[in-house]
């Protein structure tokens, strides 16, 4: 039974993995204007998406793919993130809506990933 006041959910970390496209275009550029009709120039090859998905899954993280094949979402506890990214768990914990944390991709997949951004937990009022 969990201790009162200590939610297991509070230990869960979520991050967006922005994959490197063949064209070099960055998905985050899309936040600065309307979506283009064709997203192909922002999409990573299927083999790259599969490799990154498998890497994080094999590392013990939950992995979710978007419908467009543009990014992945990874989720796991803080200790697992610290292990996979070889970083202090405290730096991951410092994420808030006003302060994001960018993680360095593990070397095994660094050529396939543009950026990994830890997302803050949603605040419920």
Would 7 be classed as within a structural domain?
A: no
In sequence order, the β-bridge partners of residue 64 are 73
Residue 60 structural domain: 23-119
pLDDT at 64: 96
pLDDT at 30: 65
Would 65 be classed as within a structural domain?
A: yes
| Structural domains of the chain, count | 1
Would 42 be classed as within a structural domain?
A: yes
User: Which pLDDT tens digits describe the chain residue by residue (125 residues)?
Assistant: 444 444 444 588 899 999 998 877 776 666 666 767 777 887 889 999 999 999 999 999 999 998 777 889 999 998 899 899 988 665 676 666 667 788 999 999 999 999 999 887 766 55
pLDDT at 10: 52
């Amino acid at each position: 039974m969990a201790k009162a006041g200590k939610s297991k959910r509070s230990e869960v970390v979520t991050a967006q993995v922005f994959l490197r496209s063949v064209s070099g275009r960055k998905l985050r550029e899309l936040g600065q204007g309307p979506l283009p009709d064709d997203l192909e120039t922002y999409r990573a090859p299927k083999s790259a998406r599969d490799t990154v998905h498998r890497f994080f899954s094999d590392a013990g993280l939950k992995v979710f793919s978007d419908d467009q094949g543009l990014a992945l979402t990874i989720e796991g506890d803080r200790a697992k993130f610290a292990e996979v990214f070889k970083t202090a768990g405290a730096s991951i914990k410092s994420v808030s809506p006003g302060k994001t944390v960018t993680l360095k991709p593990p070397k095994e997949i660094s050529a396939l990933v543009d950026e990994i951004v830890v997302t803050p937990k949603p605040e419920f009022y």
